[in-house]
Structure 1
Amino acid sequence: MRLSILLLIGLTVFACNQTTTNESKEEINEIVANSDPWANYSDTLKVLLDKSISNDTIEIECFKHFLFFKSGHLFDRNQKHALSVTCPTDSTYKVEMYILEKGAWTLMDTLKSLDAFPIQFATTLKDFNFDRQTDLYIQVTISNGWPLSRGHLIIIYPKTKKFQLHPETREFANMEPDSISKTVFSEVWDGYDNKSGEQNLILLTNKWINNKLVTVGKEKVTVDLNEKRAAHNTGLTARWLTFSLTNPLGFLSATVKP
C-alpha cells in the first residue's frame, strides 16, 4: 500500500530556503508518497536526508505506520540536524539523530524501546537543563479535562550531541523550563470544583541535582478557567500562567489536517 494512502493526517514539507522552488517541494512529496514506510524505510529515510541537504527544513508526520521526520537547525544554530522517530512495534519508539557535516549525514545517536502512543505524539525542542543546548521532549500521553502532558525527556550533550534519557521525569506533567530560576516546573491535577468551575493544581518546582531532575518545592494553585486567571497565596508568575492556560505542550504540530 502506498504511503499516499497511509498518510491519514497528511504530509507537510517546509522549505524555508528562499532558493528552494515549488518543484523541489513537489519532488519530495512525490518520492516519499511512492514509498512504503516500512518495506522501504531505509530508502525513504535516505531520500529525506538527501533532500534535507538543500532545504532548510523538512517535516513529515505519518500516523498509520508511524513516521516522524524533521530536519533543520534543530539543536544548533550553526549546524543542521535531522530527527527521525519511528515505531518498530505498536508500543515503542525508536529515536535517531543525524548531523550534517561536509555535505553528508552521520548518525549521531539512537534510543530504542521508548514507551509509545503515536496517536498523542508531539515533540518539544527546548533547553531543559540550562546548558544552552536545545533538548528533546517527546510526548507519550496527554490527559482529558485539564491537559497533562507526560513523556520522555531526552537531554542532549552540547559537545557530543549524544542522547541521555531521564526516566525520573516520566511522570512529570507539563514540564516547562525557566532559565531565570534554573528550575523546571511541572503540574499535578488536584481536583475540580463543580460549583466554581475552578481547577485545583499543585505546581512542582524541580531542580537538577547530580544530573537528575528532583522536586524541591510544591505550591497549591487554583485556576479559574472562566476568567482565565490564577490566584494563590504567593502569586503565580505570568509566564507560567500563560503557558498553562494557552498551550500546556509548548508545541503546535505542523502537519496537514485530514
Structure 2
Amino acid sequence: MAWAAIRRGWLTVVLTGLLFVIATAYLRQPAPEVEPPPPPTPTHITGEFLSWKEVDPLFPRYACATVVDYETGLSFRVQRRAGDHHADVQPLSAQDTAIMKKVYSGEWAWKRRAVIVALDNGRMVAASMNGMPHGAGAIRGNNFKGHFCIHFRDSMTHSSRSRDTAHQVMVWKAAGVLEEQLTGLNAEQIIEVALEAIAHEDPYILEKVTQGEGKELLLQGLPTIAWLKTQSLQPIDELHFTATVQLIKRGNIKS
C-alpha cells in the first residue's frame, strides 16, 4: 500500500491489485520539505498562453510551424491541414517524422506531451500534442500515415466537443503556468490531474500535485504503467472520491 498526498480530499484507486490512497487535503501543518525536480527542459523555453480563438487565425490551414518538445528540446516542422476546434497537423518530411517518433521513444502513442509551437511569424505558443498518426494525411513522402493533433488553451476535441484535461494540463506546463492553474482547481479536478499525470507518464506534473508519505514510491512506479484510463470518478462526500480505472502495465495487460 502506498500513500501520497495531493491537495484536497481522499482518493482510493485500485490498480491491478495495488492500492493507492491519495490524500488531497491542504495540510494545516507544513509538509516536510521535498526537493523539487529540476525543470523538465534544458532550454527553459515557455510559450505564450494563447487561446485557440487567438491561435486559429495566427496558424491558418496550410501554414507551417516548428514544434519544439518541452522536455527534450527536439524540434520538427509541421503543416496545419485541418481542424476546427484544434489543429490537425502533419510532419513536413520523413526526417521530421523521424524526429517526432524519437520524441516518443520510437513508439507512436496517444500520450500527450507539452510542446511549444514556433509560428513562422516569430510567436511561440504553448501547446500539447499527441503522438499517434490517425485519420487522413495528404503530404506525400513524409512516412506519416495520417495526421496528429495539437491543442492549445481552451481547444476541444472534434468528437466530444469538450476540452481534454490532459491536453490542457500540458498546455499549462508549456506556458509555465502549471502551479498557478492548479491553485484554482477543486478537489475533484486535482485528482483528475493526478490521474492524467500517471496516464501520461509525467513525473513533473505528478510531483506538483503530490506530497507526503509514499510520494517517492508513486513516482518510482510511474515508468511501469504503459496506459491508464479513468472509467469513473465518484464522490463519496465533499473530500472523498473513488476512482475506477483500467490499467495496462508494461509487459502485461490487465484491467
TM-score (norm 1): 0.29
Larger radius of gyration: 1
TM-score (norm 2): 0.29
Which structure has the higher relative contact order (CA within 8 Å, separation 6+)? 2
Higher share of residues assigned helix: 2
